[in-house]
Amino acid sequence: MRMPGKMLPKIVGFVFKKPATVLYPKERLTPPKDLRGKMKFHKDRCISCGACARDCPSGACTMQPKSDGKKRPEFDLDFCTFCAQCAESCPKDAIEMTAEFELAHYRRGEAVVKE
């Protein structure tokens, strides 16, 4: 067993140390620059090639028919693993991973990224 006398300086040191955590959500840390959060879809760049949906490992990205007769992707974040493969596969940079990570929602289907 360690002697309290040896531990005491360390314990006292922790009392005066700045906390490692913040009072979220009142206080927020800046997310890392490369964080893969919610994606942003740039409809104007999309050529409806379907590469994003083809390469999505979880089936979160699917091609859906749109009013102009073309198919474009939709991203169901309930299934998304935020791997960014869709953005990687897109030949037109139409999918951008953002640092938005607060994605809590009440019902299934409420977190779908579409145009």
Q: Which is nearer to ligand SF4, 28 or 58 (CB)?
A: 58
Cβ 106 to ligand SF4 shortest distance, Å: 21
Q: Which is nearer to ligand SF4, 28 or 43 (CB)?
A: 43
Cβ 71 to ligand SF4 shortest distance, Å: 8
How far is it, in rounded angstroms, from Cα 13 to Cα 104?
37
Strand, coil or helix: 58? coil
Residues lying near ligand SF4 in the complex (CB under 6 A) are found at 46-52, 56-58, 60-61, 73, 75, 80-86, 89-90, 92, 94-95
Burial class (CB in 10 A: 0-12, 13-18, 19+), 96: middle
- How does 26-36 read in b/e, with b if 16+ C-beta sit within 10 Å? eeeeeeeeeeb
Q: Which is nearer to ligand SF4, 28 or 81 (CB)?
A: 81
Q: What are phi and psi of 114, to 5 degrees?
A: -145, 175
Q: Which is nearer to ligand SF4, 27 or 93 (CB)?
A: 93
- The DSSP output letter for 45 is G
Cβ 86 to ligand SF4 shortest distance, Å: 3
